[in-house]
Amino acid sequence: MTNTSNRLQSLRDSSVSRRNFVIGSGAAAVGGAALLAACGDDETAPAATTTAAAPATTAAAETGVGTTTLGSNYSDANPKAALAAAVAATGVDTEINTIDHNTYQDNFNTYVQQPDDVMAWFAGYRMRAFASKGVVGDISDVWDNLDGMSGAFRSASSGLDGNQYFVPLYFYPWAVHYRKSLFADNGYDIPANWDEFKALCDTMEADGLIPLCAANDGRWPQMGMFDMLNLRINGYDFHVSLMGGREDWEDARVQNVFSTWEEILPYYQPDANGRTWQDAANNLGDKSAGMYLLGTFVVSNFDREAQADIIDDIDFFLFPEVNPEHGQDAIEAPIDGFMMAAEPANEAGAKALLTGLGSVEAIDAYLSVDPAVVAANSNADTSGYNALQRKSAEAVATASYIAQFLDRDTDPDFAANVVGVGIADFLATPGSIGTILADIEAKKQTFTFE
């Protein structure tokens, strides 16, 4: 922990000096080199990093790309500083326009009509929706210069026409979180399949614990449970097809997801619909509850210094196998990254910036300031990873399929106003699932899924 925070501090200092230097000199290439040199006080940053950065930064300087603008929803203090460091690492002279996370997301339709050159956004369906409307630019040529991005990331960054419209920065997987000490003290084993999972819930209940933390305030946390069950029971292909509006929600396979879900509802914290994910995370933290299916951001609920013992004690396991046919082949890992405006004011600058943001230097700089996520670039420096990050990277690397999360994999309005409401109703009255699914199917007809 001390190591990390020292590193963090040195990065913060160096990023500031670099930024000022770039502004002062206007010579982006030199600025980039100076910054990277400043990072070099950590022996884990090899000399190769510095040279690798050279092509991107030199290119920026040679073409005289000028100032580029970047629309950012990284409005929390840590991600904001981390993004500034990542942008500085690209060496492209960039003006960052930070807008608070929720407003940015909610108003993206209007924002994209008066966009910055480069815009922070999400991979998968939510990117494709804008790509197919022609409001974001084709950056396939940027991908020619990207190194270290796996095929899964490439396809998550591709539009329906097969071209790339997105550069991934990082991701965070969803999994079942637990406290290692609680499992060790009580002799619990990691459940590999559905029966073991339910048996563990029974044991926990007998031990006086709440087996499963459950929150659904905002109507999105429980979408994760639906996704996982659907992926495990019906497989990735069916899930994508269902999200794409091509399957019937009253289908027996969807019914099966909910009836399987109903089997574990007795182990849920009661009244999940009214609980924020943070409140539920507190129950995981104080060991009154045993397991919590959530994104790895669950650790951000705890204070990095005062509650470091809890953070270090949190581990996760992949959602157990339900249907042997699909095993644990899919994982849910939302990817965040960047798109380019359809007609950027400074296209050369935008592409230089995107190339830079996809590079290993940018994500290394990002992670050194905000080590809560996992690099999309497989060449990223993982030496600073904590156990949870290392495990996240491994889980995603070994997964055959990566889903993005329900509200990113389908029409966002359909997700929020139809499926989200349906899931909340199901949690309140599981018995009425028949009418709930009929209702979802009926409302689905009003969406085009294009």
Quick one: 197 or 338, whose CB is closer to another protein?
338
Nearby residues of 413 by Cβ (< 8 Å), 6 or more positions away: 447
Sequence-ordered alpha helix ranges (H) in 329-400: 347-357, 360-369, 387-398
Interaction between residue 68 and another protein (CB under 8 A): no
The SS3 assignment for 405 reads: coil
Among the listed residues 2, 113, 446, 448, the single contact to another protein using CB under 8 A: 113
Instruction: Please identify which residue in the block is written with the tokens 């905002």.
Output: 218
Interaction between residue 371 and another protein (CB under 8 A): no
Interaction between residue 288 and another protein (CB under 8 A): no
Q: Which range binds another protein by CB under 8 A, 22-30, 71-79, 349-357, 384-392?
A: 71-79
Quick one: 97 or 255, whose CB is closer to another protein?
97
Interaction between residue 99 and another protein (CB under 8 A): yes
Interaction between residue 134 and another protein (CB under 8 A): no
b/e burial code for range 361-375 (CB count within 10 A of at least 16 → b): bbbbbbbbbbbbbbb
Apex 141 CA angle, 135 and 145, nearest 5: 130
- Identify which of 169, 88, 69 has the alpha carbon closest to the alpha carbon of residue 127: 169
Interaction between residue 110 and another protein (CB under 8 A): yes
DSSP symbol at 11: H
Q: How many residues bind another protein (CB under 8 A)?
A: 30
Strand 118-122 vs strand 68-72: parallel, antiparallel, or unpaired? parallel
386: amino acid identity, one letter:
N
b/e burial code for range 36-55 (CB count within 10 A of at least 16 → b): bebbeebeebeeebbebbee
Q: Which range binds another protein by CB under 8 A, 40-48, 92-100, 139-147, 244-252?
A: 92-100
Whether 382 and 118 have beta carbons less than 8 Å apart is answered as: no
Q: Which range binds another protein by CB under 8 A, 86-94, 236-244, 295-303, 352-360?
A: 295-303
Quick one: 49 or 346, whose CB is closer to another protein?
346
Quick one: 33 or 214, whose CB is closer to another protein?
214
Nearby residues of 151 by Cβ (< 8 Å), 6 or more positions away: none
Among the listed residues 100, 202, 325, 343, the single contact to another protein using CB under 8 A: 100
Among the listed residues 2, 43, 64, 77, the single contact to another protein using CB under 8 A: 77
List contacts with another protein (CB under 8 A): 71, 73, 75-77, 79, 97-103, 107, 110-111, 113-116, 277-278, 282, 297, 300-303, 306-307
